Amino acid sequence: MEITTTEYKRCDVVKTIGRIDSYTAPELEEALTGLTDRGRYKLVLDMTDVDFMSSKGWWVLIETQKNCKRYNRGELVLTGVQERIRDSLNLVGMGSYFQIYDDLLSAVANF
Amino acid sequence: MATEKFPGRFESLAGIRKFVSAAAEDAGFDDKEIYAVELAVDEACSNIIEHAYGGEGKGEIICTCNDISNGLEIVLKDNGVKFNPAEVAPPDFSIELEKLKPRGAGLYLIHQMMDDVAFKFSSESGNELRMVKRKVN
């Protein structure tokens, strides 16, 4: 799995490439915690090149979302979520906790 | 029928998914169905490592894929502590974000992704999880 973080004026974009499972989820957690620990709470996760996501990955995002939304200081939004991943997210019922944008530009513009 | 043994470690998950997705492809499932099989097996194996074995490197996961007339049967075996699905409460995602607790989603997903899900335990052979995915047509 590959993770790159780009800081924009209004938010940070975290781009993840690969498969997010119980083995790789801690890397994603580290990247996201690295941002929230520095007071960066407006985050976009670009999942265009994520082709697998297990519930372990979703829990990392849920914990990040809790942290970001606390005191209304920000939010974690998602973009580029592949259909089958989006389906499993909605099936398990976690979909309502995230705003999902079709493209990166709209996700960034949300902030 | 194909059987493979994997070390009970999270880094085995990619190999286990590859093994079952190849079997699902051979069985004639489409991409969406193959993903469902991969996800169910990944969740099940993560649970085995985390809960049955209580951590990594404690035992093996034996995965068997059987072609059945209208689909695919996958059997996962481990020698960890007894897993009782009745003790796992289904996740409640109607509650507010702050109150969410990270548990139960894996088992719930397994049931959503597969058509039959059956757990069995014996003190000699440990846990056995049998899952079946059927073709729609």
CA distance A5 to chain B (A): 24
How high is the pLDDT of residue B22?
98
Q: What is the dihedral of CA A55, A58, A64, A67, to 10 degrees?
A: -80
Report how far residue B16's alpha carbon sits from residue B119's, in angstroms, rounded to the nearest whole number.
19
- B39 with A52: Cβ contact below 8 A: yes
pLDDT tens digits, one per residue of A26-47: 999 999 999 999 999 999 999 9
How high is the pLDDT of residue B136?
84
- B100 with A62: Cβ contact below 8 A: yes
- What tokens were used for B14? 């990619």
Beta bridge partners of A4: A15
Report how far residue B84's alpha carbon sits from residue B100's, in angstroms, rounded to the nearest whole number.
22
Residue B25 contacts A, CB cutoff 8 Å: no
How high is the pLDDT of residue B137?
66
Q: Taking residues B44-72, what's their average pLDDT?
A: 96
pLDDT tens digits, one per residue of A69-109: 999 999 999 999 999 999 999 888 889 999 999 999 999 99
- B39 with A88: Cβ contact below 8 A: yes
CATH node for B2-134: 3.30.565.10
Q: At residue B104, does pLDDT exceed 90?
A: no
**pTM, 2 dp:** 0.95
Architecture per CATH, A2-109? 2-Layer Sandwich (3.30)
Sorted by where each begins, the domain ranges of chain A are 2-109
DSSP state for residue B97 in the 8-state scheme: G
Task: Report residue B129's pLDDT band, with 50, 70 and 90 as the boundaries.
Answer: very high
Q: At residue B19, does pLDDT exceed 90?
A: yes
